[in-house]
Structure 1
Amino acid sequence: MSHFNREMSSANTMSKEEYLFLLKDFYKDLNLPYKYQDRNENHFRLERKCLPGISLNLVEFRVPYNLRYLNPDHEPIFSIGFMIQGQLDYIIHERKYSFNTGQNNIIVVPNEDRPSLLFKAHTFYSYRSCIFERDYLEHLFSRYPEKLKALYANYQNGKYSTLKPDNLINTREIQFIIQQIDGEFAKPQPDDLYLEAKILELLSLQIQSSTCENFAAFNLKACDRDKIREAEFLLTKDLNQAYTIEQLSREVGLNTKKLKMGFKQIFGNTIHVHLLAHKMKRACHLLLKSDLNIAEVGLECGFDNASHFSTAFKKQFGVRPLDFRRGKSNMSSISKM
């Protein structure tokens, strides 16, 4: 694969046709690495990294013209997209769709469809997308058929579709993963395995957000589900940052009753039990993989002292942390976590 890498110091004087040429050059082959970037008045960055079976695309720009770009002929596209900033409008089958700031979706575009992308003058756009090649997608479907059944069928049958008619919300967890991807992307030699894992994590979160739970029992709206996932992310991101339910409720903007009932509905446990299980899983990892002493492991997992940690660990697994480290535990009970 060739690598396109072009710098243009006078990008702020470029014509409308030159901007359209760059977009055409970027989108003409989604399986080729690509890099164009300028840091002048009209910030313009188009970059693509190709992993085995996945292309990771980063688009950021602000231009002084209204642009309408018609995508070229292409293979069927299965793409996960995340709008960081701006409102990206696109037209398929003479119908207009929009991606707004903080939204995401999974999009299937047949090869006979050629979307028109609409960009407004003097508007900053920041967008990330990951496009899965056919063989990679087939492999994913063979492993997780129930997760991808409807979308994969539309991909096979040449039918335009999205995961949800209304876009999903970029939760804090999704935003954090995108930041991790951007950080790795910026390295001189990004870790492909790390990027692939993060992309699959994003795909999993999108599917969970739309299909993995039955929300009828407590009538949870999509925005409520996203807030509850934000609460779970805050709860487990830093185990030394303790939250009360009231604090979590205020942080995500959901009343305590809906937070507690919705949390159990989505995650299958109360907030307290879910957090404890997360702490214990982290503790097991540190006991086996680190040189930290028992007190230090307890502190890393949010326990005030070694005694409290040892008591909680033994109650959970029936052995003390030290015995677990020495291999005297019943691993079957722990492997089910």
Structure 2
Amino acid sequence: MTQSGEVTTLKGESTDQIFNLKREASIYYSDSLSTFNDIKSAFIKSAGNSSLQMVFLLKGKLNGYLTGSKKACLTFAEQQHNILLINEKLQLQIKTETHEAIFIRIDPAFLSMYIPADHLGYLNLKDGMQKNEPALFSGCNLHMTSEIAAILNALRTSEHTGFCGKLFLESKILELLVLQLSQFELRKDDPAVRQLKEEELDKMHEVKEFLMNNMNQQFSLRSLAHMVGTNEFNLKRDFKLAFGTTVFGYLTDYKMTLAKRMLIEKDVTIAEVSEKTGYKYATHFSSAFKKYFGYLPNKIKSGKLSLLILIEDFSVVFENFVTMIP
């Protein structure tokens, strides 16, 4: 995938058959209006009457309009995601030039392999397929998390090719599906779930950006709340609604995913990563890293990690699916 927004898949191919089975997956990245218009054309062209898309909107605002209607029937705000069934009756629009969106086209057979036939989200999409109508997996869009962001970044920067590339692609799509299913189940079972107002969501994004840019600082929930003009109760409630975890849970997730990526991708020492992620002592960082991932960071620096990480990712995926089976 190119940084310029060119329509492409993981390795520049329009589609990729995984293990020669009829489970195709294509990845599209958009950061300009011209590219987005090209992607819209590719959706229907590549999939006939309908296209099943994992939609991840990192920046900007995405609206969907039914043919002949001027009122949006669906809206993606910044840092939201969902699975969307698109056909010729639905027109997607991004009105701002500055945006960042990732679309992953998946074959319906992929979902049918992993999701129970009576799952509510799957039934929403299946009903749309049968009626030839646009549909959403989740009635309310789901929230981006640091874990999802890390997976998307891994897809964009992967250097795997051939068989390993296909294996890596399917594993990451499966991980994303697990996270989407988990979020869907939490929302479905929580009667207190509500959609945040735009002003409330903006405040939570301000807190998130502060956390990411000030990992070396010490701060309290009260100080964070006052910084964005809210109170501690609203901060805890709204942040979890926006990002699916607590304020400090998000910070830990972000630190650990950043640390792991740095250790894998860059020639850095554990002490340098420790300092970068806000730990005063490397020993404290190593202890936190082991508690989070289950192994010490020096295992990554040993140079034996590529296959280990891939196997670990699959293990997490299958463990999550086992826990979700009733």
Which one has a larger percent helix, Structure 1 or Structure 2?
A: 2
Which one has a larger percent strand, Structure 1 or Structure 2?
A: 1
TM-score, with structure 2 as normaliser? 0.49
TM-score, with structure 1 as normaliser? 0.48
Greater relative CO (CA pairs within 8 A, separation 6+): 2
Q: Which has the larger radius of gyration?
A: 1
